[in-house]
Amino acid sequence: MRRLHLFEILDQPWCPKVVRDGATDFLEHITNFADIYAPVRPLLLAAIWRSGSRNVVDLCSGGGGPWLSSAWSAARKNGEFPLTVWLTDKFPSEALGLRLDKSDNSLRAVSEPVDATAVPSTLHGFRTIFASFHHFSDDAAVRLLQDAVSKGEGIASAEVTSRTLNSLAIVVFVPLACLLMTPFMRPFILSRLLFTYLIPLIPFTLLWDGVVSCARTRTPAELKELTSGLNQFTWTSGYAHRSRLPLPVVYLVGTPVSKRETQSHDVNQQESQTQSIVRP
């Protein structure tokens, strides 16, 4: 199945804020409840530590993402290499501020809109983006990666959707999970109940965007193609397994090439060019 870049409701400026917040709140809840990004956590943390950064700028955070979960929180507070995470979004969620522990300065929400393709120079740190990279067209995705490269910041994307029947089958059940789990979500918000049960715009949005997300998510090979020409970074892509859900996590990780690696690459390139010149 080829990639289809259809539209998602949550991407649209006309999407009601109450629906956007309700949907992102549920996605936050299910992400942490199932710890669906556990398979990629060691890989991402290793990339962050390898980059030497103590700050993380999370892009398109929505309701918070995995960094709010207990498992990722423990990793964030690692005694040997503690991290400070900044949560950003083009449409910041008001509910996110209510979820944060005010006494925990290692996790902070940026209240101003942040464009993932042009992150302000005041926000420094390794960039992560969960469940959102497929929202960007190829041109916008390249701009997002180029912005990180041009500012020397490592970057990693991770998504659990994919263009497979297995992923699509699970996504179809997400609205049902929304109906079952909404009463237990905190903080309690009356409008969330209204647009889940009386006017079910939130479950509908989750279904539509879930199916479209599967159609839009890139394969590891397609992710790698986006990095063509960005040779200042080392890029890896693939699927990470071992989640509570039978869904692999597709990832792309880029870290700045070290000076030694750059010199080795230049030497290999020169040798290759020399061989092509002297070849009879």
Q: What is the pLDDT of residue 178?
A: 93
Q: How far apart are CA 189 and CA 183, in angstroms?
A: 10
Q: What is the pLDDT of residue 167?
A: 83
Question: In total, how many domains does the chain have?
Answer: 1
CA atoms within 13 A on the CB side of 177: 18
Q: What is the pLDDT of residue 275?
A: 34
Contact between 4 and 215 (Cβ < 8 Å): yes
Query: Is a pLDDT exceeding 70 seen at residue 270?
Result: no
Query: Is a pLDDT exceeding 50 seen at residue 278?
Result: no
Whether 1 maps to a domain, the answer reads: no
Q: What is the pLDDT of residue 272?
A: 40
How many angstroms from the chain centroid is the CA of residue 199? 29
Whether 7 maps to a domain, the answer reads: no
Query: Is a pLDDT exceeding 90 seen at residue 57?
Result: yes
Mean pLDDT of 228-255: 87
Whether 18 maps to a domain, the answer reads: yes
Contact between 185 and 29 (Cβ < 8 Å): yes
Query: Is a pLDDT exceeding 90 seen at residue 237?
Result: yes
Q: What percentage of the chain exceeds 70 in pLDDT?
A: 90
Query: Is a pLDDT exceeding 60 seen at residue 89?
Result: yes
Per the model's pLDDT, the better-predicted residue between 124 and 79 turns out to be: 124
Whether 36 maps to a domain, the answer reads: yes
Query: Is a pLDDT exceeding 70 seen at residue 238?
Result: yes
Residue 66: CATH number of its domain: 3.40.50.150
Per the model's pLDDT, the better-predicted residue between 14 and 28 turns out to be: 14
Facing residues of 239 across strands?
Answer: 250
CA proximity to 144, closest of 87, 90, 96, 107: 90
pLDDT digits (tens, 9 = 90+) for 107-129: 999 999 999 999 999 999 999 99
pLDDT digits (tens, 9 = 90+) for 142-189: 999 999 999 999 999 999 998 888 788 888 899 999 999 999 887 788
Q: What is the pLDDT of residue 245?
A: 60
Whether 90 maps to a domain, the answer reads: yes
Whether 204 maps to a domain, the answer reads: yes
Mean pLDDT of 32-38: 86
Q: What percentage of the chain exceeds 90 in pLDDT?
A: 55
Q: What is the pLDDT of residue 25?
A: 85
Token reading at 40? 């990629």
Range of the domain at 76: 14-278
Per the model's pLDDT, the better-predicted residue between 279 and 77 turns out to be: 77
Sign of CA pseudo-dihedral 236, 148, 130, 45: positive
Whether 4 maps to a domain, the answer reads: no
Whether 6 maps to a domain, the answer reads: no
Cα separations (Å) of 268 from 184, 254, 258?
58, 21, 15
